[in-house]
Structure 1
Amino acid sequence: MQQRAEITEAEDCLKADEEDAAPLLNQQLLLGKGLCSARYCLALTLHFSLFIAYSLRVNLSLTIIAMTNGTDPGSLSNVSTDLCPDHSHTQPNGSHREFTPEVSTQGIILSAFFYGYIFTQLLGGYWSGMFGGKLLLGSGLLSSSALTLLTPFAAGLGAAYLTGLQALLGMAQGVIFPAQYTLWAKWAPPLERSRLMNFAEAGCTFGTFITFPAAAIICQYLGWPYVFYILGGTGCVWCVFWFLLVYEDPACHPRISAREKEYIVSSLANQVLGNSHGRSLPLLAMMKSLPLWAIAIAYFCNDWLFYMLLTSMPTYMNDVLHFDIRENGLLSALPYIGNWLGTIVSGLLADFLLSKHLFSMTMVRKLFSGLGMLLPAASLVAVSYVGCNYTAAVIFLTLSMTAISMCGAGFNINHMDIAPRYAGFLLGITNTFGTISGIIAPTAVGFLTSQDLLSGWRNVFFVAAALNLFGLLFYVTFGNGTIQDWAREDTALQ
């Protein structure tokens, strides 16, 4: 009993120290000192690393339009003639038209990434917990870059080879996000967790924002193969900086200040992290955990909407709204600048609410998840009714992608709250659910729209909205923001 009382007293002291650190932390940030710290440098490095990762992931979504622009739309059976009028006058680049699969086959190719991606999610979480996040993330990024360089060669061989290469690319990228969570479990103080992780993950949407218009310009003036050569080469070069700049934890960093190291270590003292989870995992307890299931279900439903827009928005812009490839690249990218800004702002706001003790951790996660799932669903329903109103369609798509960014301060980082010791592995579990939706969604879009474009796209938007609402209800009911008993060190060792 005395030992239990001492443990409880120690935990109370750590919580008090964490609360005392909040004003000091806010003061440091106001003076601008915190932004030059080692942990913020890690956030910046991860921001650009995820920028590269998503550039390699999404380039095919737009480039496949240039690769297949020789396909005769009239060859598709039963396509509705009730389409928006063509308002573009610029013709896409006419070179390299030998790759011409049908619409449904394009959906399968775009889904192939996720077949490989799902294979390495759990492995990535397990390996990063054993060997560290730095090596695994850097290796995944380097492999992705090398495979991207081979994409034109695979496309020249045929659709089957391109599908296989996309699956390999997915396998390489499957370890990146679990490895990132393993790093943040050692670097992110609880009161800074939302802002640091959201800023890092904002690189995903910023990469999409830059890649779409850049790929469109490259396709038009150089030809689509150069998209893969330029982005793949850039990724290979960036990996050199990754291995030079990143350190596994504060203790390994040679240039971190003693004050910052002490602050990070003390703020994470009650997180019972250890150096890694080793080979031991409480799998049965994880399977029974409703808070973990809540995150997983929310991931599946929300990622359906996100990946549907990520992979298929350029196709919607091309097939329904008839934007030429330059307009397509610019307008497809526009929603992602809103997402980029929204991700950063929501992370800052979530940490502000926590530091001021205005809401509990659980309430903050549910609040941001609610906004990030309800508003995009409403925006997609609106898109289905605007018809050929180009301005309204782009506005609602932009609102949808901007609002979905709020999930970054919601269930997206909830793993760190309920089980920081196993954060990378849990991300592997929940991202597996999200990846399943990434597999199904682009293929579903291809089949739903292959017969009738307008009604098909309306069904696509309705399905995504309905799934988002279901995921939100499940998460609000069962989600939690406190460390679970099975995630504590003494329980894990039993």
Structure 2
Amino acid sequence: MMATMTELSPTAGKTKYSQDTRVDESLVPKKVLSFRSTRYGIAFIAHFCNFILTAQYAAINISMVAMVNGTSHQSQFNGSTESLPLDALGGSNDAPNSLPAEAPVYDWSPQIQGIIFGSVNYGMMLTTAPSGYLAGRIGTKRVVGVSLVVSSLLVIFTPLAADLGLAFLIATRIVQGLAQGSIFGGQHALWERWGPPCERSRLCTLALSGMMLGTFTIILLGGIISQTLGWPFVFYIFGGIGFVYCLLWFVLLYDDPVSHPWISVTEREYIVSSLAQQNGFLSAFPFIISWVTGILGGQLADFLLTKNFRLVTVRKIATFLGNFPSSVLLVALSYLTPDYVTTMTLLVVSCGLTPFCQSGIYINALDIAPRHSSFLMGASREFGYTAAILAPTISGFLLSQGPEFGWRNVFLLLFAINLSGLIFYLLFGDAVVQDWAKDRKLTRL
């Protein structure tokens, strides 16, 4: 939701700026507003890119059941990269249908599986933000296209990497995360040039909804493919689909309507004229402030620990500093007298305070469940991506009520969500290793 507000933030605090960028849809030809228009075609292209991105991201989560589905004889293979021979399972007639004989099986503990699941997120954290900047400089077509090629090749390479050893697999996953983070972060630069303000919500939502379709598809088909063909084919199929789709991406996608060879003159002029009020520097400035405060927040948290503050207290202080003041500033923004300087100042301060949460609730999984922290942080990140899908839709609906009252309702809703989450964390948050996350020694009788 922050990304959506920041992108439109220059119009949030001053009504006349909002009115300047609004386009009377009645003056635009109907064919320009239809799903047959070029910009909706761009949204569908991004939709299937996100479909492939999410399917490739979650492929190993679905395949892991088959990758570690050993039998009582598994230990004699030293738990590794050997394929299960038929006679080891009692003959070909006794082989389980869910585990094809040619598929390798690995002896990975739950801790190792958690590391494998979470390793892709290490790469994604490093490239999501820089890729957005890079896409703005050299174009989304190149950044996302090259990243999709790399991601698809690494997905195809995953079974071989697992066969070469755990270190190869983790390294492959990290590099894959670098590529996938670039896909996710780089694609948003499209809408700076393709998304008229009055249509940006529906275009972004259409593009991002491909993630949900990708998750549905990999869950539905991943198990079937693993059962019938073997788990490596999950990676071969979805990696191959991504690689083939790259060809369509480079042929069909263009970074802006001016360079598109097939767009109509009417639609091109409509898009270009509707984006005349954009200011990329003002949209990007809050994020450089966030980068600084995120680093300072980590220093502050460790400093408080040296002063004998309890760990849970430090986590809650950091979460409060990153959550409550920024939410209050956004609500205050909608009630202040419209002023451009005041609007931008409050938005920058609000976004700049949010990264304090990185030293609080964002890393709290390391405190309560070190063994499963990679999985928990990865799962929470996946859950958080739903906000990127819901925020444009809900914001677009609220903004249809009018530029002034619409933004006020957006900020009030954000404040209510943030405050409820903060109160819940302050009441029930902990920083002690939970019983379910502790190592248990099994005693044989």
TM category, shorter: 0.5 to 0.7
Residue 375 (structure 2) pairs with residue 290 (structure 1): no
Once the two structures are TM-superposed, the CA of residue 267 in structure 1 deviates from its matched residue by 1.9
* AA aligned opposite 2:350: P
1-structure distance, mates of 2:353, 2:239: 36
Q: Which residue of 2 aligns with 1:55?
A: 55
Aligned match for 1:151, one of 129, 145, 158: 158
Once the two structures are TM-superposed, the CA of residue 351 in structure 1 deviates from its matched residue by 1.8
Residue 246 (structure 2) pairs with residue 239 (structure 1): yes
1-structure distance, mates of 2:435, 2:178: 23
Contact 1:45-1:242 at 8 Å conserved across structures: yes
Unmatched runs of 5 consecutive residues or more in structure 2: 1-10, 76-95, 294-347, 366-373, 425-432
Count, aligned residues: 334
Aligned match for 1:21, one of 19, 24, 32: 24
Q: Which residue of 1 aligns with 2:39?
A: 39
* AA aligned opposite 2:263: I
TM (normalized to structure 1)? 0.57
- Segment of structure 1 superposing worse, 14-23 or 105-114: 14-23
Contact 2:43-2:206 at 8 Å conserved across structures: yes
Q: 1:126 to 1:15 in 2, by over 3 A?
A: closer
Contact 1:66-1:224 at 8 Å conserved across structures: yes
2-structure distance, mates of 1:446, 1:226: 38
1-structure distance, mates of 2:394, 2:158: 41
Contact 1:312-1:445 at 8 Å conserved across structures: no
Aligned match for 1:197, one of 196, 204, 218: 204
- Segment of structure 1 superposing worse, 188-197 or 59-68: 188-197
Once the two structures are TM-superposed, the CA of residue 166 in structure 1 deviates from its matched residue by 0.4
User: SS of the residue aligned with 1:150?
Assistant: helix
2-structure distance, mates of 1:363, 1:297: 25
RMSD: 4.4
Once the two structures are TM-superposed, the CA of residue 272 in structure 1 deviates from its matched residue by 2.6
* AA aligned opposite 1:92: S
Q: Which has the larger radius of gyration?
A: 2
Once the two structures are TM-superposed, the CA of residue 177 in structure 1 deviates from its matched residue by 2.1
User: SS of the residue aligned with 1:219?
Assistant: helix
TM (normalized to structure 2)? 0.63
* AA aligned opposite 1:149: I
Q: 1:149 to 1:449 in 2, by over 3 A?
A: farther
Q: 1:63 to 1:192 in 2, by over 3 A?
A: same
Aligned match for 1:134, one of 130, 133, 141: 141
1-structure distance, mates of 2:208, 2:435: 28
Per-residue CA distance 1:56-76 (angstroms, 9 max, x = gap): 11110111111011177xx9x
* AA aligned opposite 1:361: W
Unmatched runs of 5 consecutive residues or more in structure 1: 1-7, 76-89, 314-334, 379-443, 453-494
Q: Which residue of 2 aligns with 1:93?
A: 99
Aligned match for 2:397, one of 352, 357, 361: 352
Contact 1:113-1:170 at 8 Å conserved across structures: yes
Per-residue CA distance 1:218-238 (angstroms, 9 max, x = gap): 011111011011111110000
Q: 1:285 to 1:372 in 2, by over 3 A?
A: closer
User: SS of the residue aligned with 2:198?
Assistant: helix
Per-residue CA distance 1:109-136 (angstroms, 9 max, x = gap): 1111112222323431332222111110
Q: Which residue of 2 aligns with 1:114?
A: 121
2-structure distance, mates of 1:245, 1:445: 51
1:156-195 correspondence runs (5 A): 156-195=163-202
Residue 404 (structure 2) pairs with residue 361 (structure 1): no
2-structure distance, mates of 1:357, 1:281: 25
Once the two structures are TM-superposed, the CA of residue 250 in structure 1 deviates from its matched residue by 1.1
Once the two structures are TM-superposed, the CA of residue 346 in structure 1 deviates from its matched residue by 6.3
* AA aligned opposite 1:448: A
Q: 1:285 to 1:211 in 2, by over 3 A?
A: closer
